[in-house]
Structure 1
Amino acid sequence: MQQNYQKTVEDAMTQLDKDYLRKMQAAYFSCGVKCCEDQSLSSSEVQRCIERCEAPINKAHSFMQNELTAFQNRLQQCSAECSNRARDSLKSDPTDEEVKKAQRQAFDCSKNCLESHLTKGLPALVDRLRSQLKKLKSDQCKIVQ
């Protein structure tokens, strides 16, 4: 279950990397080369030029990392809530059978969290990321030209 989750998220991030980030990275390097080749610029102007080229890709990486962290935090919170509910359902001196039942409930609840994240949360995350990356890529094109 955990491996399927990790692979699904990784596959989605890999696709975004191929569709957007690599192209943005290539544009960043191309832009940086133009900065360095411009003999009319001083050293500090070249540095500022390169920093302007770098800004969109840095924003893209930061945005992706923040969104992915928030996504994973929501899954952890959901799973923790499942564990808390199962724990709260136990009386002060539970039998082994009651403990096993609570563990099954926690597991099933966590499984539902995971499935919901994969079927609803991940597509929404990918849409948000794709939209933002498309905007950043467009902004980058304005800088590079």
Structure 2
Amino acid sequence: MAEQAQSRVQNAIKDFINTVDRQHLRKHERQMHLCAADCCNDIDMTVDDVHRCVERCQAPTQRAQQYVQSELERFQDMLQRCVLQCQDEVKDKVGPNTSEADIRKYRGEFETCAIACCDKNVAKLPGLLDKIKASFDAGAL
């Protein structure tokens, strides 16, 4: 059961990344490459000038990628904190004399809680996608 929840999270993140890439990042990458190609067209530029020009072309794409990466890391941190909270709640119930039956029960409680964390956080991805889209649409990236 927990493996299915983990798989749902991984698939949702993969779909999220593919959507952001197709709808936003590829446009930036295309512009970056066209800009860099234009840098190479100017035969009067020195090698250093061309490198600086290419770096300027790369900067917006790098900022956009870093923004998306930081939002994904924040999402994963929230998920991890939720699962750790589940773990803490179960650990508080277990003592040195806890029976095997209770330990099995607590494992089940942990798994149920962790699955709920996965489902709750996966449900947040469409909102995160909207936030990222709004940042791109506003020209902030």
TM-score bin, normalised by smaller chain: 0.7 to 0.9
Equivalent of residue 67 in structure 2, options 60, 63, 79: 63
Counterpart in the other structure of 2:34: 30
Is 2:122 aligned against 1:122? Answer: no
Q: Distance in 2 between matches of 1:83 and 1:97?
A: 18
Instruction: Detail structure 1 runs of 4+ shifted over 3 Å in the superposition.
Output: none
Counterpart in the other structure of 1:108: 112
What's the CA shift string for 1:28-81, capped at 9, x where partnerless?
110011111123433222222111110011111111112111211111111011
Q: Distance in 2 between matches of 1:139 and 1:92?
A: 55
Shift in alpha-carbon separation, 1:139–1:108, aligned structure 2, 3 A: closer
* Structure 1: gaps spanning 5 or more residues: 141-145
Report the TM-score, using the length of structure 2 for normalisation: 0.87
Three-state SS of the structure 2 residue aligned to 1:41 is coil
Report the residue type matching 1:128 in the other structure: K
- Spell out the pairing of 1:37-48 with structure 2 (5 A cutoff): 37-48=41-52
Greater mean alpha carbon deviation, residues 38-47 or residues 23-32: 38-47
Counterpart in the other structure of 2:9: 5
Q: Distance in 2 between matches of 1:139 and 1:8?
A: 25
Q: What displacement does 1:139 show?
A: 7.0
Q: Distance in 1 between matches of 2:96 and 2:89?
A: 14
More helix by share: 1
What is the CA RMSD across the aligned residues, in angstroms? 1.7
Q: Distance in 1 between matches of 2:18 and 2:136?
A: 14
Q: How many residues align?
A: 137
* Structure 2: gaps spanning 5 or more residues: none
Three-state SS of the structure 1 residue aligned to 2:29 is helix
Contact 1:35/1:49 (<8 A) preserved: yes
Q: Distance in 2 between matches of 1:39 and 1:131?
A: 39
Q: Distance in 2 between matches of 1:131 and 1:6?
A: 24
Equivalent of residue 83 in structure 1, options 84, 87, 91: 87
Q: Distance in 2 between matches of 1:139 and 1:100?
A: 50
